[in-house]
C-alpha cells in the first residue's frame, strides 16, 4: 500500500477502533473506583468533582441523576449473592441488616433504568415502611406474585436490577470506610 | 548467461529489500490508525457528557428559564427521565448561567422529610452537595458565582457597599455559602424524600420553600 492510497483505510480504521473502544468502555458500571459489598456495587466517586471522565460519559448516556456525596450512596445489584443474574422468573429473598443511613429505599428497575410495570404500581420499599423483626433486621420478598409482608413486585420482564439507596449514609463517600458497612443479602428462591 | 549469473546476488538482495519494504511499509499507517483511534476514543469520552441528547442537563434543565424552579413529574413505570429515578424522591430543578449573574439557592427543610441539594455542571459533574442535617435548622443559602464574581464581591465588601452576600446575611438566619463554580452553566437539584408511598404529595409540598434567583452582579 503506497502513499495516500492508505489514508482512507487508516482513517476508517481509526474511526471504527476509536468508536468501538468508547462503546466498550461505556458497558458495565460507571468508570473506576467500584466498591463491592456482597452482591452490591457502588461508585462513590460519581457523587463529587473527583468523578473520572469515563463515569461522566457513562452517566450522561444513561441519563441518570446520581446522588451527591452528601446526599447518600447508591448500591446496585445485577446478580444475587451466588453471582447468578437477577431474573424476575425467580423469587428472591433480600434480608439482613439495614445500611447505616438516615433513610433508605430499595427499587427494582429494568436494565435500561426504568421502573418496572406491575399490577400493584409499587416500585420500591423504604426503611420507614418496611416491617422488621425484633432484632431490627428485615426480610423482603422480591417476586412477581404478591406476598404478605414486605413485597417488592418484580413485574414481567425477566432481567432486572436492584438499587439500594442509603440517604445521608453515616459511612459516607468522604470517609471511604466501606468495610464496616452492612448490606442485605440477595438469595434466589424457586424459579418458574 | 555468465553475466546474468554474476548478477544473481544483486537480484536476490533487491528481492529481499522489496520484501522488507513491503513488510515495513504499512507500519506507519497502522501506528497512525492506532493513534487516531486513541484520539477519537478520548475525544468522544470527553465530549459525550455535554453533547449526548439524553444527558441530564440537556433533558431536564437546558430549556428552563433562568431563576425558575421546576418540579419533575413523580416517577412511575411510564417515566423516561431521569433514568434510575427513586420513586420516593421528589425532585426540583433550576438552571444557572453565571454569565447572567450569580445564582442564589435558598431552601428550608421541613424537618420531617430528608432533604438535600446538589449543584451540577452541564457535563453532570457534582460540584456541591449537602443535606439538611449539615445545616442549622435544615436551611440552605448558597450563592453560586464565578471566580471573577467572587473577587468583585470581596472588593464590594471591602469598600463597604451592599453585596449579595451581605443582603443574604441581613435577611436570613443562616450563614450564606459562597460556591465558586468552575463552569458558567449548570443546574441545581433539590431532593425531598417521602418516607412512605402515600407521603409523596406531602414531600412535594415541603419543597415549596425552595427558591432559585439570579442576583444582580456586584459592581
Q: What share of chain B is helix, strand, coil (3-state, %, to 5)?
A: 45, 25, 30
| Res A8: pLDDT | 86
| Res A107: pLDDT | 96
Supply the CATH classification number for the domain A35-191: 2.60.120.600
Nearest residue to B156 (alpha-carbon basis) of B145, B171, B140, B142: B145
Summarize pLDDT for A132-179 with one digit per residue, the tens: 988 888 999 999 999 999 999 998 888 999 999 999 987 554 456 666
Cell of A180: 464496616
Say which residues have a Cβ less than 8 Å from residue B170's Cβ, sequence separation at least 6: none
SS3 A105: strand
Summarize pLDDT for A97-120 with one digit per residue, the tens: 888 889 999 999 999 999 999 999
**Looking at the partner chain, which of A13, A54, A114 has a beta carbon nearest the beta carbon of B80?**
A114
Say which residues have a Cβ less than 8 Å from residue B3's Cβ, sequence separation at least 6: none
Judged by CB atoms closer than 8 Å, whether chains meet at A62 and B91 is answered as no
In chain A, what are the domain boundaries? 35-191
Q: Using CA atoms, how far apart are residues A22 and A20, in angstroms rounded to an integer? A: 5
ipTM at complex level? 0.89
Cell of B54: 439524553
Q: A75 to each of A66, A67, B5, B128, how far by Cα in Å?
A: 11, 11, 79, 21
> Are A126 and A104 spatial neighbours (Cβ–Cβ below 8 Å)?
yes
**Looking at the partner chain, which of B29, B48, B189 has a beta carbon nearest the beta carbon of A6?**
B29
Q: What is the mean pLDDT of residues A78-88?
A: 95
Nearest residue to A47 (alpha-carbon basis) of B116, B168, B166, B204: B116
| Res A99: pLDDT | 84
Helices and strands (H, E) in chain B, number of each type: 6, 9
Q: Which regions in chain B score pLDDT beneath 70?
A: 1-17, 19, 161-175, 205-208, 217-219
Smallest CA–CA separation between B125 and chain A, in Å? 6
Cell of A109: 428497575
Residue in chain B closest to A108 (alpha carbons) equals B84
| Res A77: pLDDT | 96
Residue in chain B closest to A57 (alpha carbons) equals B49
Summarize pLDDT for A3-32 with one digit per residue, the tens: 677 788 888 999 999 999 988 888 766 767
| Res B169: pLDDT | 46
Contacts of B33 in chain A (CB under 8 A): 9-11, 13-14, 17
Cell of A58: 457513562
Contacts of A105 in chain B (CB under 8 A): 86-89, 193
Amino acid at each position: 500500500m503506497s502513499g495516500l492510497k492508505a489514508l482512507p483505510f487508516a482513517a476508517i480504521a481509526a474511526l471504527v477502533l476509536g468508536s468501538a473502544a468508547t462503546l466498550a468502555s461505556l458497558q458495565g458500571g460507571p468508570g473506576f473506583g467500584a466498591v463491592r459489598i456482597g452482591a452490591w456495587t457502588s461508585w462513590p466517586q460519581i457523587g463529587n468533582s473527583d468523578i473520572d471522565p469515563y463515569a461522566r460519559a457513562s452517566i450522561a448516556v444513561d441519563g441518570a441523576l446520581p446522588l451527591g456525596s452528601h446526599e447518600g450512596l447508591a448500591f446496585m445489584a445485577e446478580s444475587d449473592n451466588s453471582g447468578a443474574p437477577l431474573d424476575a422468573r425467580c423469587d428472591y429473598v433480600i434480608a439482613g441488616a439495614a445500611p447505616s443511613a438516615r433513610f433508605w429505599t430499595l427499587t427494582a428497575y429494568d436494565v435500561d433504568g426504568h421502573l418496572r410495570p406491575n399490577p400493584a404500581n409499587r416500585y420500591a420499599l423504604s426503611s420507614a415502611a418496611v416491617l422488621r423483626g425484633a432484632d431490627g433486621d428485615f426480610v423482603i420478598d422480591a417476586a412477581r406474585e404478591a406476598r404478605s409482608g414486605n413485597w417488592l413486585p418484580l413485574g414481567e420482564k425477566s432481567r432486572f436490577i436492584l438499587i439500594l439507596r442509603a440517604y445521608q449514609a453515616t459511612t459516607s463517600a468522604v470517609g471511604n470506610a466501606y468495610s464496616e458497612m452492612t448490606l442485605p443479602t440477595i438469595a434466589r428462591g424457586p424459579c418458574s | 548467461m555468465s553475466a546474468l549469473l554474476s548478477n544473481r546476488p544483486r537480484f536476490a538482495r533487491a528481492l529481499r529489500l522489496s520484501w522488507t519494504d513491503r513488510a515495513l511499509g504499512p507500519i506507519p499507517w497502522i501506528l497512525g490508525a492506532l493513534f487516531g483511534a486513541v484520539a477519537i476514543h478520548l475525544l468522544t469520552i470527553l465530549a459525550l457528557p455535554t453533547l449526548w441528547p439524553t444527558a441530564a442537563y440537556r433533558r431536564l434543565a437546558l430549556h428552563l428559564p433562568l431563576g425558575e424552579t421546576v418540579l419533575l413529574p413523580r416517577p412511575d413505570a411510564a417515566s423516561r427521565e431521569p433514568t434510575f429515578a427513586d420513586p420516593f424522591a421528589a425532585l426540583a430543578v433550576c438552571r444557572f448561567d453565571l454569565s447572567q449573574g450569580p445564582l442564589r439557592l435558598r431552601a428550608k427543610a421541613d424537618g420531617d422529610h430528608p432533604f438535600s441539594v446538589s449543584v451540577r455542571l452541564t457535563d453532570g459533574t457534582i460540584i456541591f452537595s449537602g443535606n439538611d442535617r449539615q445545616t442549622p435548622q435544615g436551611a440552605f443559602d448558597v450563592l453560586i458565582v464565578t471566580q471573577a464574581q467572587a473577587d468583585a464581591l470581596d472588593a464590594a465588601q471591602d469598600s463597604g457597599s451592599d453585596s449579595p452576600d451581605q443582603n443574604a446575611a441581613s435577611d436570613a438566619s443562616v450563614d450564606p455559602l459562597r460556591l465558586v463554580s468552575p463552569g458558567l452553566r449548570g443546574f441545581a437539584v433539590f431532593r425531598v424524600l417521602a418516607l412512605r408511598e402515600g407521603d409523596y404529595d406531602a414531600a412535594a409540598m415541603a419543597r415549596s420553600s425552595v427558591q432559585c434567583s439570579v442576583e444582580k452582579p456586584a459592581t
